[in-house]
Homo-oligomer: A and B are copies of this chain.
Amino acid sequence: MQKIELMRKAIQLSIENVANGGGPFGAVIADKKGNIVSTGINQVTSSCDPTAHAEVNAIRSATSKLGTFDLSGYSIYTSCEPCPMCLGAIYWARLDKMYYANNKTDAKNIGFDDSFIYDELKLKPSERKLPSEVLLRDEAIKAFEDWADKEDKIKY
C-alpha cells in the first residue's frame, strides 16, 4: 500500500472507533514495502488502561508479532499527531518515520490534554502542575551501577 492508503486506513480506524464508543484515534504500522504489520485504536475506556492509545497499541501489537522490541525499518501512520507518551513510545520503538493527520491543536479543540502535557514536559519538575519530590537517590543509584557493571546485559 502507498502512504496515502496507509493513512486512510488509520483514519478509517479512528472514525470506526468513535462509532464503537472509543476515542477518535487510529494507527497503522507498516514495513518499507507498505505491508501492514499492525493496527491500533484507542482503548482507554474500553480496557481501563490510560496508556492504551492507538499508537501504543499498534507498537505493542507489532513488537509482539515480530518478537522484537526494535521497530527499525518500520513506519507509523497515526490519525493524530502523537501525544508525548506516544511520541516517547515511537522513539523507544526506534520507528523510522511517523506520518500524522490531525494535529495536537485539533486534539486540544475537542478536549484532549496533549498540548497541556507537551507544555508541562518542557518545564523543570519543580515548575510543573504535577507535584514531584526526589527521594533516596543515593540508594537508587546502586541499580544503575549494577547495570553499568553487568557484562551480559541486553541493551535496549
Contact = CB atoms under 8 A, between A and B. Distances in A.
A127 interface: no
Q: Sort chain A's interface into a size bin.
A: 35 or more
Count of chain copies? 2
A48 B68 contact: yes
Interface string A17-47: 1110101111000000000000000001100
Contacts of A107: 144
A113 B156 CA distance: 10
Contacts of A7: 135-136, 140
B131 A24 contact: no
A135 B101 contact: yes
Interface in A67-113: 67-71, 77, 79-81, 83-103, 106-107, 109-111, 113
